Chain A
Amino acid sequence: MSVIVDKQTRLCVSGITGREGSFHALNNQRYGTQLVAGVTPGKEGQDVEGTPVFNTFHRAVEETGANTAMVFVPPRFAADSILEAEDAGIATIIAITEGIPAHDELRVYNHLARNPDVRLIGPNCPGVLSPGKANVGIIPAAFFKEGNVGVVSRSGTLTYQIGNELAQQGFGNSSIVGIGGDPVPGSSFVDIIALFEADPETELIVMSGEIGGSAEEEAAEYIGAYVTKPVVGYIAGFTAPPGKTMGHAGAIVSGSAGGAEAKAAALEAQGVRVGRTPTEVSEIAMEILGR
């Protein structure tokens, strides 16, 4: 098993005729993901190396049975594309686009929250990889193999770093989920940790957070109350000075709340061991799973 994407994933990519969109869509297809359609208004009838392009998500769903969307359009069009995918009945929407206005994200989040059948991952995220099954997004799949560690992270490249440290200790992954670093992510740590808790293949959960917001603190409470599987944490930004923005819109520290120390302490209080470096995370994983 795995979470969010797998062999049943039927992927439709909005922005598939763009340079980045086509590159990554085809990359995902080469990995084994079922790429069934693309959406670009005005380009229905064309194809991208054999994958049909439609004017709307509705047409793509009708014609191909797409059940998963990857949004790769520029920021000013991204909220519209996510809402269109939901309106067309797509259940899993993965938004890679970086730089979507915060108020757009707010409207999208609150609208999607009224539909219990839809799940949004991102925006501003690297996507989801279930090794050996499907890859939707930009995660470099070659570094990861099938296994029993579920990884959820706010940062893209840091996910690769931690995943790679785990791989070097011999661990594989059930799924790797990038939830993104934006102020209003569609899915939170709590949402993804709940999926890993229910996933029989996942034996250990690694969550990689960073300064800003309160998502890690909320995850800590949830873990304390509901999670039976071991969780290893990592927090980036111990040395970040307060009040500075470090690139992710989400990573703004105000006072001591949202700081790395407070987040690590909240996790540790619920029995989550927190590695101080990515290497230490893999060492703790090794101790817990004992191999």
Chain B
Amino acid sequence: MDLLEYQGKQLFARHGIPVPSGVPARTVADAVAAAGTVGFPCVVKAQVKIGGRGKAGGIKVAQNGAELEEHAGAILGMDIKGFTVGEVWIEAASQIAAEYYASIIFDRSAKAPLVMFSMQGGMDIEAVAQETPELLATLHVDPLIGFQDFHGRRLAYAAGVPGDQVRPVGAFLARLYDVFVGEEAMLVEVNPLIVSGGEVEPSPFGPMYALDAKVTLDDNALFRHPENAELRDPSAEDPEEQMAHERGLTYVKLDGDIGILGNGAGLVMSTLDVVAHFGGAPANFLDAGGGSKAEAITSAVEVILANASVKAVLFNIFGGITRCDEVANGLIAAFAQLKDRIAVPFVVRLDGTNDVEGRRILAEAALPNVHTARTMNEAAERVVALAKEGPAA
């Protein structure tokens, strides 16, 4: 789960990492009130889960109330790379002497957290990593011993930090590691990490604080962090994805017109590929999961058909834990419940546990416009042909 910038900063603050003071706002009126607390000059920052906000015009400095109203009005509702801005963060403006970069990612390949630090923070960190990698210090930390002081010193010296900043940089990275482990994050990133040009209160971090926060949390660990689980914003999700999420299905909406249901992520991905191989365009990825029961199938059909672009639906089931007779009964129940809303053809391929029984149940039910296929390839070819013939649902 990705956090918004200000949610990430609130998380940082809980772990003692210095961040500028600020207030979130969903309306221009709230933004004006927020500026009353924060003071001028202040910064209006679009809260969206995508990078490149600054370049898109989603971050503006306001010197006074009139500017604030203007910027908040322009930014709220703005579209940034497909994300609509529903919230802004009003933050005290910073005096910036230098912009550094710090991050920790969950490095799957090395099986260890990877800590990165550079004195060349700001908008072009990716170019720094590409063109002058020697300016980006990197280090893996053994998760069984955690982040030690020497890790901080090595990174700071490798990045060329001035002598008086070595300890503050180490202290900052140690706290960031606390956030990474304590909150069970997959990514924590601070870009820029600011060296203040103004007065700051004395702290172990010297003049440094986090001007941005990018945090991705591990969904599987949210049960241990109920306060973080509450940060999920269902209204920001696609309506069909939200509906699927509520029903415990894994659903990703795509651009095509063939609805896909399968069991198991790998098989569903493979089904999308095979449909594309035969010239079709999948409308979604839907994994009904292992042990798909009848109710799950009914829910899944509802989710797939909620997408108006769908012209035909493919069921591709290879039963392991999932039993094909359950899937057949689920499909029959779905047709009984949704009959007026099902206007598109279905192609069903059942293989694996109880497949003979599943096919027999389907044949006896003789559902309208439901076709069966014996193999994955045959099913894909059939559904592609049907989608080309038919009108949208």
Give residues in A with beta carbon < 8 Å to B: 75-76, 98-104, 106-107, 109-111, 113, 126, 138-140, 143, 153-161, 164, 181, 183-184, 208, 210-211, 213-215, 218, 234, 236-241, 244-251, 260, 276-279
Instruction: Please pick, from A218, A238, A247, A279, the residue contacting B265 in the complex, using a CB distance under 8 A.
Output: A247
**Contact assessment for B109 and A156 in the assembled complex, using a CB-CB cutoff below 8 Å:** no
- Extra 17 A-B pairs, beta carbons < 8 Å, given A102-B221, A139-B320: A106-B113, A110-B111, A154-B266, A155-B267, A155-B269, A156-B320, A157-B318, A157-B320, A158-B264, A160-B352, A164-B352, A183-B186, A214-B109, A237-B272, A251-B265, A277-B270, A278-B274
* Contact (A279, B320) CB under 8 Å given A101-B224, A157-B262, A247-B285: no
Q: Are B287 and A247 within 8 A (Cβ)?
A: yes
Residue B121 CB within 8 A of the other chain: no
Task: Report how far A246 CA is from B251 CA in the complex, Å.
Answer: 8
- Is B111 in contact with A248, judged by CB distance below 8 angstroms? no
Output the nearest chain A residue to B281 by Cβ-Cβ distance: A239
Please, how many angstroms separate the alpha-carbon atoms of A247 and B287 in the complex?
7
B320 with A239: CB separation less than 8 A: no
Contacts of B64 in A (CB 8 A): none
CB distance A102 to B186 under 8 Å? yes
Among the interface residues B254, B265, B320, which one has the most CB atoms of the partner chain A within 10 A?
B265
Contact of A110 among B109, B143, B181 (CB under 8 A): B143
B365 CB–A CB distance under 8 Å? no
Tell me, yes or no, whether B295 is within 8 Å of chain A by CB.
no
Quick check: B252 and A244 within 8 Å, CB to CB? Answer: yes
The distance in angstroms between the C-alpha atoms of A76 and B220, with both chains bound, is 9
**B270 A158 Cβ-Cβ under 8 A:** yes
Residue of A75, A214, A248 ringed by the most chain B CB atoms within 10 A: A248
Cα distance A277–B270 in the bound complex, in angstroms: 7
**Docked-complex contact B220 and A160, CB < 8 angstroms:** no
Would B221 and A103 count as touching, CB distance under 8 A? yes
B353 close to A (CB within 8 Å): yes
Majority secondary structure, B binding face: mixed
Q: Which residues of A contact B142 (CB under 8 A)?
A: 110
Of A75, A100, A157, which contacts B266 at CB under 8 A?
A: A157
**B85 to A: closest C-beta gap in Å:** 19
B330 interfacial by beta-carbon distance below 8 Å = no
A and B contact pairs by CB, cutoff 8 A, 25 listed? A101-B184, A101-B220, A101-B221, A101-B224, A102-B186, A102-B221, A106-B111, A106-B112, A157-B320, A160-B352, A161-B267, A161-B270, A161-B318, A164-B352, A183-B186, A210-B265, A237-B272, A239-B273, A239-B282, A240-B272, A240-B285, A241-B254, A276-B273, A278-B270, A279-B376
With a cutoff of 8 Å between Cβ atoms, the chain A residues found around residue B262 in the complex are 157
> B269 is contacted by which of A109, A214, A251 (Cβ under 8 Å)?
A251
Within 8 A of A (CB), among B237-279: 250, 252, 254, 262-270, 272-277
Residues of B218-241 at the interface with A, using a CB-CB cut-off of 8 Å, are 218-221, 223-224
Q: How far is the CA of A291 from the CA of B61 in the complex (A)?
A: 73
B152 sits at the interface (CB 8 A) = no
B251 to chain A: closest residue by CB: A247
* A140–B318 CA distance with the chains assembled, in angstroms: 10
Q: Which of these, A183, A211, A248, contacts B108 with CB under 8 Å?
A: A183
CA distance A213 to B144 in the complex (A): 22
Closest chain B CB from A106 CB (angstroms): 5
Once the chains are docked, how many angstroms separate the CA of A67 from the CA of B224? 32
| Chain B minimum-CB-distance residue to A208 | B266
Contact partner of A250 (CB less than 8 A), chosen from B108, B184, B268, is B108
B contacts, CB < 8 Å to A: 106, 108-109, 111-113, 142-144, 181, 184, 186, 218-221, 223-224, 250, 252, 254, 262-270, 272-277, 282, 285, 287, 290, 318-322, 351-353, 375-377
| Best-surrounded residue of B262, B320, B377 (most CB of chain A within 10 A) | B320
Known A-B contacts A161-B376, A213-B109, A238-B276; the reply to A107 vs B265 at CB < 8 A is no
CA distance A159 to B321 in the complex (A): 13
Which residues of B lie under 8 Å from residue A99 when comparing CB positions? Answer: 220
* Contact residues in B for A160 (Cβ distance below 8 Å): 267, 318, 320, 352
Could you say which of A76, A183, A218 has the most chain B C-beta atoms within 10 Å of its C-beta?
A183
CA gap between A260 and B272 in the complex, in Å: 13
A140 nearest in chain B by CB position: B320
Q: 5 nearest interchain CB pairs?
A: A155-B266, A157-B264, A247-B265, A158-B266, A101-B221
Q: Cα distance A198–B49 when bound, in Å?
A: 48
CA distance A72 to B263 in the complex (A): 20
Known contacts: A158-B267, A236-B273. The answer to whether A106 contacts B106 by CB under 8 A is yes
Chain B residues positioned under 8 Å from A109 (CB to CB): 111
Determine whether the beta carbon of B269 is less than 8 Å from that of A236: yes
| A249 proximity list for chain B (CB < 8 A) | 219-220
B376 touches A278 (CB 8 A): yes
CB–CB B184/A102 < 8 A: yes
* Measured CA separation A155–B351 after assembly (Å): 17
Please indicate the chain A residues that have their CB under 8 angstroms from the CB of B270 in the complex. 155, 158, 161, 234, 236, 277-278
Partner of A140, one of B254, B272, B319: B319
Closest to B267 in A: A157
Question: Which of B112, B181, B265, B321 sits near A181, CB closer than 8 Å?
Answer: B265
Complex-state Cα separation, A143 to B318, whole angstroms: 11
Q: How far is the CB of A87 from chain B (nearest CB, A)?
A: 15
A241 contacts across to B, CB distance below 8 A: 254
Give the residues in chain B near A76, CB-CB below 8 Å: 223-224
Are A164 and B351 neighbours in the complex by a CB distance under 8 Å? yes
| CB–CB A107/B277 < 8 A | no
Which residues of chain A have C-beta atoms less than 8 A from B221's C-beta? 101-104
Interface core residue of A161, A250, A260 (most chain B CB under 10 Å) = A161
A246 vs B106: C-alpha distance in the bound complex, in angstroms? 19
- Of the candidates A244, A248, A277, which one forms a contact with B273 in the assembled complex, judged by CB atoms under 8 Å apart? A277
Q: Closest residue to A126 on the B side, CB-wise?
A: B320
* Contact in complex: A103, B184 (CB < 8 Å): yes
Q: Flag if B220 contacts A100 (CB, 8 Å).
A: yes
Specify the chain A residue showing the minimal Cβ separation from B252: A244
Which of chain B's residues have a CB closer than 8 A to the CB of A260? 273
* CA distance in complex: A211, B318 (Å): 21
